[in-house]
Structure 1
Amino acid sequence: MVARSWNETQGAAFADQIDPIERLRRLRRLAGIARVMDTAIRIPGTGIRFGADSIMGLVPLVGDAGGAMVGLYIVNEARRLGIPPSKLAQMVGNIALDGVVGSVPMVGDLFDVFFKSHRRNLQIILDHFGVHPDELHQRR
């Protein structure tokens, strides 16, 4: 078995091999996951939106760990798409902050409603590829 370490040139070369249509399909899937986790439900009469991450966070430790696992899936997909390590580190930092602060009783539940780590990470990915969020909803 040959051990390979990831470096920026290998990641960029792999990312260039991904068909633009396949990349868009992956970005749409990640956008859907981020939406479900962070903004799927709107409180009527307010601009406040929350998602499964906030609801799962109500279950002590297990809920926040589950939200972090979903976040790590998004980071892994970003890595596979060729996002550079510095941006991946920023994405992991968003997940860590959400997981650590989110695990504090009561305060963490409120924090989860307003700090949307999955949406932030999706935006990092979209900015890297120069994709506007509206482009994810257009049909070809």
Structure 2
Amino acid sequence: MNQRTARIDPRLFDRLPIGRDPAAVRARVEALEKLLERSFVVPGINRPVGLDAIIGLIPVVGDGIAALMGSWLVWEARNLGLSRWQITRMMGNVGFDALLGLVPFIGDAADLLFRSNTRNLRIIRRHLDRHHPGTVTLEPGSR
């Protein structure tokens, strides 16, 4: 299935492991990032968007909710034992995204270009790949 036809399985969160082990955390943060940043493709612009961009359309409140949801990734990273520098970078990504969202129209466009949750997932993946190599998963279609 390619990215244009990808759909979120409604049972996705029913199958997520509950636990503090690195494999369970990886599954949860990847699912949340997909929900927030790549839920579906908007026809015409052919770019994946998620709840972060849609919720961000609600003035002030939407960006606050999106920032809280993005902060959950930072919480998971903290529980994994990422360094203070990595946590600070992740909080900066969420904060910058939230500040951009406060600017009418520009903030909504920025949600399509500056994907703080994707950036934060990349930081978490790098940490997990280095410190917990058993949690590495292959993307569908990759070898």
TM-score range (shorter-chain normalised) is 0.7 to 0.9
Aligned to 1:63: 62
Runs of 4+ displaced beyond 6 Å: none
Identify the structure with the greater helix proportion: 1
Q: RCO greater where, 1 or 2, for CA within 8 Å and sep 6 or more?
A: 1
Count of residue correspondences: 117
Preserved CA contact (<8 Å) 1:24 1:136: no
How far is the alpha carbon of 1:129 from its aligned partner?
Answer: 1.9
CA distance in 2, matches of 1:126, 1:74: 12
Conservation of the 8 A alpha-carbon contact between 2:22 and 2:128? no
Q: Which residue of 2 aligns with 1:38?
A: 37
Aligned to 1:85: 84
Q: Equivalent pairs: percent with the same residue?
A: 33
For 1:77, give the aligned amino acid: E
Deviation, structure 1 residue 115? 1.1
TM-score, structure 2 normalization: 0.75
TM superposition shift of 1:134: 7.0
- Give the TM-score taking structure 1 as reference length: 0.76
CA deviations on 1:41-94 (whole Å, 9 max, x unpaired) are: 112465411100000000000000001001111101100011111000000000
Gaps of 5+ in 2: 1-19
Equivalent-residue separation in structure 1 for 2:105 and 2:45 (angstroms)? 21
Residue type matched to 1:99 in 2? A
**Structure 1 unmatched ranges of 5 or more:** 1-20
**Does the CA-based 8 Å contact 1:28-1:136 persist in structure 2?**
no
Matched-pair contact (CA < 8 Å) for 1:37–1:118: yes
Q: Distance in 2 between matches of 1:33 and 1:127?
A: 17
| Residue 22 of structure 1: aligned partner | 21
Question: Aligned Cα RMSD in Å?
Answer: 2.2
Instruction: In structure 2, give the amino acid aligned to 1:135.
Output: T
**2:137 partner SS:** helix
**Distance in 2 between residues matched to 1:55 and 1:71, nearest whole Å:** 14
Q: How does 1:127-138 map to 2 (within 5 A)?
A: 127-130=126-129, 135=137
Match of 1:15 in 2: none
Is the alpha carbon distance of 1:119 and 1:35 closer, same or farther for their aligned partners in structure 2, counting shifts above 3 Å?
same
- Structure 1 residue 25: deviation in Å? 1.2
What is the distance in 1 between the residues matched to 2:110 and 2:136?
27
